[in-house]
């Protein structure tokens, strides 16, 4: 049986864009002042910064807005388009929008257009609902209002 290279094992599957492939989500945040002008959310999909790779110069919105219970990243039965970027730079600033929808036990982010780890364009990613909600809750408790 052929061995996988260490890089491939660390990076996970290389066919993330394929239908039915499940991606991983890690939510982090910058510390805010004095390092940065405000606190920003980072959305790492399969180890890649979705916002930074989607639009150079764009920054994620505040965790309170994106991660709060019932907030924009919480999936609903009806699909919706969510702007995940900060508006602190004014109208016309870099914006990243994703379409969030729920299909059974799968959360789907669509209308994406960022380069994946292999250089191909990522248009859609899928997450296991239980893992997705656990990560949103973990991040909210760490960087949300009460943190």
In the chain, what are the domain boundaries?
Answer: 6-143
**Closest C-alpha among 126, 140, 142 to residue 69:** 140
pLDDT tier for residue 10 given thresholds of 50, 70 and 90: very low
- pLDDT tens-digit readout, 127-144: 999 999 999 999 999 987
What's the pLDDT at 144?
A: 77
The helices-and-strands tally (H runs, E runs) of the chain is 4, 9
Task: Report the percentage of the chain scoring pLDDT > 70.
Answer: 80
Residue 7: CB atoms within 10 Å: 8
Matching residue, tokens 């994620």? 60
Token reading at 111: 């209308």
The residue-averaged pLDDT of 58-76 equals 91
Q: Give the integer Cα–Cα distance in Å for 44 and 75.
A: 17
pTM comes to 0.80
What's the pLDDT at 24?
A: 96
- pLDDT tens-digit readout, 103-120: 999 999 999 999 999 999
Task: Name which residue leads in pLDDT, 131 or 69.
Answer: 131
- Report H helices in the chain: 6-11, 50-54, 63-67, 129-143
pLDDT tier for residue 7 given thresholds of 50, 70 and 90: very low
Q: Angle at Cα 134 formed by Cα 104 and Cα 114, nearest 5°?
A: 75
Is-contact 25 45, C-beta < 8 A?
Answer: yes
């Amino acid at each position: 049986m052929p061995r996988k290279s260490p890089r491939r094992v660390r990076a996970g599957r290389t066919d993330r864009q394929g239908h039915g492939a499940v991606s991983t989500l890690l939510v982090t945040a910058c510390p805010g002042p004095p390092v940065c002008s405000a606190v920003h959310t980072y959305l790492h999909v399969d180890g890649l910064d979705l916002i930074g790779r989607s639009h150079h110069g764009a920054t994620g919105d505040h965790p309170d807005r994106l991660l709060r219970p019932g907030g924009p990243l919480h999936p609903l039965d009806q699909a919706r388009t969510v702007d995940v970027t900060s508006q602190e730079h004014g109208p016309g600033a870099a914006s990243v929008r994703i379409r969030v929808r729920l299909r059974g036990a799968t959360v789907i982010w669509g209308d994406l257009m960022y380069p994946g780890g292999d250089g191909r364009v990522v248009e859609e990613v899928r997450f296991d609902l239980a893992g997705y909600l656990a990560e949103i809750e973990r991040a909210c408790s760490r960087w949300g209002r009460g943190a």
